[in-house]
Amino acid sequence: MEKKTLLTDCPDAMGLISKITNICYKHQLNIIHNNEFVDHSNRQFFMRTELEGIFNDETFLFDLDRALPTGSHRRLVSSARKKIVIMVTKEAHCLGDILVKAFDGSLDVEIAAVVGNYDTLAPLVEKFDIPFHHVCHQGLSREEHEEKLLAAVQQYQPDYVVLAKYMRILTSNFVASFPNKIINIHHSFLPAFIGAKPYQQAFERGVKIIGATAHFVTNDLDEGPIITQNVIPVDHNFSAEDMARSGRDVEKSVLSKALGLVLDDKVFVHGNRTVIL
C-alpha cells in the first residue's frame, strides 16, 4: 500500500468531483482526505485528494485525462521526502528554525545545501553537517553573481529554493529557472511596506501591528502569490530596531509554516493568488 496525492486544477464543470472520485473508486484507491474549492470569480476548480492503495500511475492518469475538461492540470505526487536549497545573507533566525525543524523531523525535508552571499552563517550550517556555499557578490556584476548562485543551487536539483532572509533582489533569469519553486519571506505584512527597510517604514508610519509574508517569487518585487502571513501587535514603545527584533519570531514561523504547506503539496498557484487545500 502506497500513499500519493492527486492535485487537480481545471476549468469548473458540473460533476467534476463525482468523475474524479469515481475514477479513484474504480482503481480501488481509498480517499484519505479530499478537499476541493471552486473559484467562482474565475470558474476554476481545485481538488487535492490524498489516496492510499496500489497505484498504476499510467492507467489512472489516462482515465483521469479522458474525464477532465480541456485546460486541466493534474499531478500525482508521491510522498517521498523533498529536497531544498536555502539561500541566506547574514541573519540566523529563519535558517536556524528550518535547521532545527529538519533535524527533529518537524519538517520532513532534506536540506541539500545552504548558499550565502556572506559567510556569516557558515558556522551554524556546518554544525548540522550541511554544505555551505559562500557566493560573494562583491566585485561581480549582478549577472556574474547570479550565474554563480545558479550553478551553486542547481547542482543539487532542489524541489524548492527557500530564501531565508536572502537580502538581494534576484533577476528574472534566476526566477525563471525555478517557476513557482522559490519561496521568500518578506519582513512586512505585504502589500504594506514593499521594498527595502520595511520595519523602518513601519516605524515611521506609526503602525500598531507589524507582520511577515511568505510568498512565491515572481519577477515583480514582493508581488508574488502569498502563501502565509502573520502579525504581532506593536506600540509607541517600539523603535524600528525593536520591531525588527520582535518581527524575527513572526518571520520564521510564517516561513516555516509556508514551507510545510508547500512540502505537503497543499498549495495551488492560480494567477497571483494561492489556493491552499
* Nearest distance in Å: CB 148, a second copy: 26
104 part of the interface to a second copy, by CB under 8 A = yes
**Which stretch, 90-98, 141-149, 151-159, 162-170, contacts a second copy (CB under 8 A)?**
90-98
Distance of alpha carbon 245 from alpha carbon 237, whole angstroms: 13
The answer for residues whose C-beta is within 8 angstroms of residue 244's C-beta and 6 or more apart is: 187, 199
For residue 237 the three cell numbers come to 514603545
Determine, following the binding rule CB under 8 A, whether residue 205 of this chain makes contact with a second copy: yes
Catalytic residue among 63, 222, 242, 264: 222
Instruction: Name the segment binding a second copy (CB under 8 A); options: 54-62, 70-78, 96-104, 171-179.
Output: 96-104
User: What x/- string results for residues 238 through 267 when contact with a second copy is judged by CB under 8 A?
Assistant: -x-----x--xx---x--xx----------
Q: Is 209 in the site for a second copy (CB under 8 A)?
A: yes
Select from 237, 200, 236, 230 the least CA-distant residue to 212.
230
Residues 48, 266 contacting (CB under 8 angstroms): yes
Site for a second copy in 8-37 (CB under 8 A): 14-15, 17-18, 21-22, 24-25, 30-37
Position 103 contacts a second copy (CB under 8 A):
yes
Residue number with CB closer to a second copy (153 or 226): 226
| The residue to which cell 487535492 is assigned | 48
Report, in Å, the least distance between residue 143 CB and a second copy. Answer: 31
Of 66-74, 79-87, 120-128, 148-156, which part binds a second copy (CB under 8 A)? 120-128
Of the residues 184, 225, 243, 265, which one makes contact with a second copy according to CB under 8 A: 225
Residue in 186, 228, 255, 265 binding a second copy, rule: CB under 8 A? 228
Per-residue cell: 119: 559567510
Whether residue 222 lies in the annotated active site: yes
- 35-74 footprint of a second copy as x/- string (CB under 8 A): xxxxxxx---------------------------------
Tell me which residues are annotated as active site.
222
User: What is the contact surface with a second copy in residues (CB under 8 A)?
Assistant: 14-15, 17-18, 21-22, 24-25, 30-41, 91-93, 96-97, 99-101, 103-104, 106, 124, 127-128, 189-193, 204-209, 211, 225-231, 233, 235-237, 239, 245, 248-249, 253, 256-257, 272-276
